[in-house]
Structure 1
Amino acid sequence: MSSRVPNSQLDPAVAARLKRDADGLVPAIAQQYDTGEVLMLGWMDDEALHRTLTTGRCTYWSRSRQEYWVKGDTSGHVQHVKSVALDCDADTVLVKVDQVGAACHTGARTCFDEDVLTEGQ
């Protein structure tokens, strides 16, 4: 059973611009606001984006748990929102944050520093 909120309070003008996938989600990239470091990728629906914009804390939709989660509520590794932007196609959200602690569920600072690919691997 899904815990998703059926009628979000997201600004209708923003909601009309979003291009969601078949599940109603858009990828949300979290980036450290002052260094540009890419921290993680999560998923947002309209309600998660609304909560992120109104609370100043990143809220994501967990596809595996089928529920909303606020980054840092259980780990203490909070993301304080500095700005939120849509890409040119309105199908990806960029959230610039001030990350407290690790962004990755593995305990690493970012989700993207462990497995650097090179040609021929």
Structure 2
Amino acid sequence: MRDNRTVTTSLDPDIAGRLKRTADGLVPAVVQQHDTGEVLMLGWMDDEALNRTLTTGRATYWSRSRQEYWIKGETSGHVQWVKEVRLDCDGDTLLVKVDQEGVACHTGDRTCFDADLLPAPRHA
């Protein structure tokens, strides 16, 4: 895995068997506000983060920069209450639908996608 340590997880083997992970054992998790469809952020989960998310109802991610698990809102108070988790058809991306309390982005914006609107071609 990421740092050559063994991570013990209780993730359902049927779910674990469907996941297609990156070389460092992670799966991207697109996070969406459950009732509006607003895309809030992208996080990364390994088997243990996904297991914690599914069993606690609190969104838990693997921080690639800090190399540790973090529960969204644990220090900021901006909690993500998990409503449902879906696995895409290829097994390589998770969709985590949450009820977001406060802002989702560490910059203080509602979503991580508020800052930069890139120009797109216009179609007739």
Which residue does 2:42 correspond to in 1? 41
Which residue does 1:87 correspond to in 2? 88
Once superposed, what is the RMSD of the aligned Cα atoms?
A: 1.5
- How many residues in Structure 1 have an aligned counterpart in Structure 2? 119
Q: Which segments of 5 or more consecutive residues in structure 1 lack a partner in the other structure?
A: none
Closer, same or farther: CA 35–9 of 1 in aligned 2, 3 Å = same
| Whole-angstrom distance in 2 between the partners of 1:56 and 1:113 | 26
Which residue does 1:17 correspond to in 2? 18
Q: TM-score, normalising length from structure 2?
A: 0.92
| Whole-angstrom distance in 2 between the partners of 1:5 and 1:59 | 19
Q: What SS is found at the alignment partner of 2:53? A: helix
Q: What SS is found at the alignment partner of 2:82? A: strand
Identity %: 74
Letter in 2 for 1:27: P
| Structure 1 residue 119: Cα displacement | 3.8
Q: Which segments of 5 or more consecutive residues in structure 2 lack a partner in the other structure?
A: none
- Which has the greater radius of gyration? 2
Q: Residue deviations 1:65-98, cap 9 Å, x none?
A: 0000000000000000000000110100000000
| Structure 1 residue 6: Cα displacement | 1.1
Contact residue 40 and residue 112 of structure 1 kept, 8 A: yes
Alignment of 1:27 onto 2:25: no
| Whole-angstrom distance in 1 between the partners of 2:74 and 2:110 | 17
Q: TM-score, normalising length from structure 1?
A: 0.94
| Whole-angstrom distance in 1 between the partners of 2:14 and 2:120 | 43
Letter in 2 for 1:114: A
| Structure 1 residue 110: Cα displacement | 0.2
What are the residue-to-residue correspondences of 1:1-121 with 2, within 5 Å?
A: 6-119=7-120
| Whole-angstrom distance in 2 between the partners of 1:116 and 1:77 | 24
